[in-house]
Structure 1
C-alpha cells in the first residue's frame, strides 16, 4: 500500500484498523516514523464526544511534533442497501486501500485532524500534507465527516473544532458591491415568487396591471389620448397609470420625472415627406443611480414583457429609447427616433494621376 510519498502503513497499524476493536476507541493518534504510518496511542471513550474531547485530544499534542488524530463522534454512519457492501469485513491485503468493517451498526463518524506546528521543519510539513489523502483512504473516507488542519494546539481543542464547523458553514465575507448584487438577486427571486396571476394582467406581462391602466391603453390605441405615463408600484408589485392626456411633442420633455423611473407612450403626430402621420414611441426614463436598486431592477426586468404585451394589443411601437432626463427627448429628438437621418454616402477615392514624365526624348548618336 504505497502512495506518492512512498509512505506505507505499519503492520501494527494495518492490523489495528482491520479489526473491530478500535470501534470503542474515542481517539487515535498516528505519526510518520521511518517512512511508515505508526499507531502511537488509542484512547477509550468514557462519555460523550464533547466531554471526552479535550482530555483525549490535547494530551496527544506536543508543541513541535506533527501528528494525525482521528476522533470518534457519537453519530453513526447511515448504512443503506447501496452502501452496505462497503462495510462487509474482508481480510486486508497489500492491494486494498481501505479496511471495511462487518459491524454496520457500530460504524461511527470521525473527525480527521492534522496537526503540523509552525516551527516544525519544511520537510515534515510537506510530508504530512502529502500523506493526508493516503491515510484518509486507509482509514475509510466514508467514515470521515470533517477534516481540517491545525498549527497551534488551541485549533484542535473542542472550541477550535466548533469554530471550524461554524466558519465552514458561514458565508464568505463580501464587499459592499457584492452585498448589493446579492440583495438584487434575492429581491428578484422574491418578486418572481410573489407574482400573482389571479388579477387582471396585460397579455404576457408578469406583473398585475390595474383596470384603469388597461382602460386607458384601449383609449390610447383608439386615438382618444396620445400620451400615457405608467408607474411600477414596487410595494404592490403592479403597473398603474400615472398620467395621461393629449400633449404636443414640445411638451414631452416636461413630463419626464426627475426622481423616479417611468414608462412613457407617446403617439407623435408630425409631417413626413409632405404627409401627416402618427407614430408611437416608447420611452423608459430612469434618473440614474439615485434610484433604489430594487426599483431599477424591477423596471428593467419588466420592460421587455410590457413591450411584448403592447404588441399583442396591436399597439405598434415605431421607436424605443432609454433616457435619464427630459432634455434627451425634445421634439426634434423624437422625430429623429422615428426617422433616423440617412448619412450621405462617402465619396469614392479617386486615384491621382501619375506625375508627368515630360515630352518624349530622343537620344541621338553623333558618331
Structure 2
C-alpha cells in the first residue's frame, strides 16, 4: 500500500512482517529508495524493559526509523516512531506522511504507539514513565473543566457535542480547546522548518474532541484543494512560499453540505487550534490572516494572492483590537470566491 508520500512496502518487508514470531522483540523499518524496508531486528532475551537497551545499537543518531516492538504476554505490538530532533526536515516530513500507510499494512493495528525524539526516550525508565502516564487517571485541567461545562450546556440545548459560534462566520475568542495528538504536533513543527510548499491536514476525532493528524504532503498552492475533504470540515496548515517570506497559513474548510453539528464543532474549535499552532511554530512563521472556505476546490495560487497579497503578516506581529479582516487574530478572512453575484 502506497502512502501519501508515495512510499510503499517492499517485498522484503512484506515477507518480514508475515514471518514475525514470538522470538522477535524488535523489527526496525526504514525508508530507502522510496520503499519501506526491514533494517535490522533483535531477538527477545527477557521482558520488554530488559530488551530496550538493545535499541541503542539498532538505531542511529539523527536518522528517523520505525520500530515494531513485541509486547509481553501476547499483548500485541508497540509501534515506536523514532524521529530525532536533529533529523533533516525533509526526513521528518517523509516519516510523518508515511506512518499511516505503515500502520494500515501491519497484520493487526498496534496496541500502543510511542513517539521518541532521542534514544533516551526509549530507555527502560522512560518507557516506565510512558506506561504510568498511559494508565494514570487523567485529572481535569481548568480548560477541560470548562469544556465539560460547555458539553453539559450543549446537551441541555440539544446540540450533543457541539455548540454554535457567537455569530455566523465569527471565530474570535478562545473557543473550544482541543487536545492535539503527538503526530500532529510533530508534523506542524516540521512544516514550520520546511522551505518548500506543503500541507498538514487535521481533523477532530468524533466523540473525543481531540485534534488528530490526517496527512502531510508536498503540494503546491494549485494542488492544495485535492488534499482537503470536499464533504467534511477540516483544518489545514499550508506552507506558503510565494510571499515576501515563507509563512504557514491556517485554513478552515467547511463544505456547506457537511452536517450542521460538525460545522459548529469545527467553528467553535478553530480559534484554539490557531492559538496552539502559534505556540508550536517559530515566532513570526504563522500568518495572522486566517482563511476560511466552503469550497476546497477554490484553493489555488490565485486564492492566496487575493487573500494574502504579496506578503503575509505574521501572527506575532499582528495588530490587536477589532476583528477587521487582516487586522490580527480576530475573525477568519472570508474568501472572495471565483463567482461573485452583483448586489
Is TM more than 0.5 here? no
Q: Per the shorter chain, which TM-score range?
A: 0.3 to 0.5
| Max Rg structure | 1
Higher RCO (C-alpha under 8 Å, 6+ residues apart): 2
TM-score (norm 1): 0.37
Question: Which TM-score applies when normalising by structure 2?
Answer: 0.40
